[in-house]
Amino acid sequence: MKRAKISVIGAGNVGASCAVWAASKELGDVVLLDIPQAADKTKGKALDLAQCGPVERFDANIVGTSDYTETANSDVVVITAGLPRKPGMSRDDLVQTNVKIVGSVAEEVARHSPDAVLVVVSNPLDAMVYTAWKKSGFPPQRVVGQAGCLDIARYRTFIAMEVGCSVEDISALLMGGHGDDMVPLPRYTSISGIPVTQFIPAERLNEIIGRAKMGGGELVKLMGTSAYYAPASGSIQMVEAIVKDKRRILPCAAYCDKEYGVGGYYVGVPTMLGRNGVERVIEVELDAGERDLFDSSVEHVKELVTLAEGFLNG
Ligand code: APR
């Protein structure tokens, strides 16, 4: 069987970590690409990772490059290129710089891998995934943003810490924009099918939700740059669903037009992810309070996209 080809654009903290997860899970061959000024470093990271193969027991060709021809005909391309957040910066502060980077990357990727599924990770995510869609010219189902997988992983981690149980048994759903803007849905959170409220009182759960929302900022403060292990792990969870055509139901930034009445934007919603990208957006029932939170999150996404479009067209 032919191995999947996974390209990761941006070989920085998140990109290199994506390559590590993808290789160690033996999802396919991996191409790491960064700017020409970083060509040697990128080659070095790829070689270093390839040398983990004998110990970690994976077979994969791992290439580091600054040449897009090496990414040709990828099945999946993960876009992590762009600046990370520094302390005191919001994700929105990154718009101007990252819109130009992600826009040019998406054009190159589309030229070399016209049939790929794009997984966008660069922030501010909801605007960057929109930018990648516009610039790639791909159908919206083949461009998807990583946000919810990370936000949910943070939320599940904090719940497991609170209850003292396995992270594996926590199942949760959240929607809306990435991070600070996310819309938690505690009534869709359970531990092995048991509603989470039977383990954690509502007030304490709200505090945990607050921490998950600000989870990115907590790490920026601690590390002086934005997180990378968990963002990469969330991204590779999506890549795995795509290359193995698992049709997993994962929260992703997906294009919604009629869905949830969004009207043509990328927002965090439950999706079914498979070989074709977003196979389906799943519409769950929202009560009035959840709907209000979702609508205001979508408003923020629209503002960000307007800002991004200004820089894209300017
Ligand atoms: N093409 C390819 N790579 C690029 C380009 C470009 N046009 N511009 C910048 N890069 C590369 C940088 O050279 C750098 O190696 O993107 C990489 C970004 O890596 P880091 O600075 O380590 O940032 P990282 O922490 O990986 O975050 C990347 O992911 O989670 C988001 O908010 C985060 O937007 C940020 C992105």
Give me the DSSP letters along 165-214.
Answer: S-GGGEE--EEESSGGGEEE-GGG-EETTEEGGGTS-HHHHHHHHHHHHT
Query: What is the per-residue pLDDT across 208-236, written as a single tens digit (0 to 9) for each?
Result: 999 999 999 999 999 999 999 999 999 99
Q: How far, in Å, CA of 101 to CA of 54, rounded?
A: 35
> Can you tell me which atom of ligand 1 is nearest the CA of 226?
25
Q: Which two tokens stand for residue 36?
A: 């020409």
CA dist 213 and 202 (Å) reads 16
**DSSP string for 51-68:** TTHHHHT----EEEES-G
The rounded Å distance from CA 211 to ligand 1 centre is 25
The predicted structure's pLDDT at residue 91: 64
Q: Tokens 């040709």 map to which residue?
A: 72
pLDDT at site 198: 97
CA 251, CA 133: separation in Å to the nearest integer? 18
Q: Is 146 exposed, middle or buried (0-12, 13-18, 19+ CB in 10 A)?
A: buried
Element holding 280 (H helix, E strand): strand 277-281
Mutate-to-test residue for ligand 1 from 31, 80, 123, 146, highest number of ligand atoms within 8 A of CB: 80
DSSP secondary structure code for residue 108 in this structure: H
Res 196: pLDDT: 97
Name beta bridge partners: 144.
119
Tell how far the Cα of 10 is from the centroid of ligand 1, in angstroms: 5
Q: Is 268 close to ligand 1, i.e. is its CB under 6 Å away?
A: no
Decide: helix, strand or coil at residue 3. coil
Q: Which helix (H) or strand (E) holds 253?
A: strand 248-256
| pLDDT at residue 190, as a whole number | 97
**Which is the closest atom of ligand 1 to the Cα of 227?**
25
Dihedral pair phi/psi, residue 138, rounded to 5°: -75, 155
Q: Report CA(148)–ligand 1 centroid distance (Å).
A: 20
Q: Which fold has domain 5-145?
A: Rossmann fold (3.40.50)
Q: Is the CB of 13 under 6 A from ligand 1?
A: yes
Q: What is the DSSP string of 5-66?
A: EEEEE--SHHHHHHHHHHHHTT-SEEEEE--GGGHHHHHHHHHHHHTTHHHHT----EEEES
Catalytic (active-site) positions: 178
Q: Provide the residue ranges of all domains of the chain, joining segments of one domain with +.
A: 5-145
Residues of the chain with pLDDT under 50: none
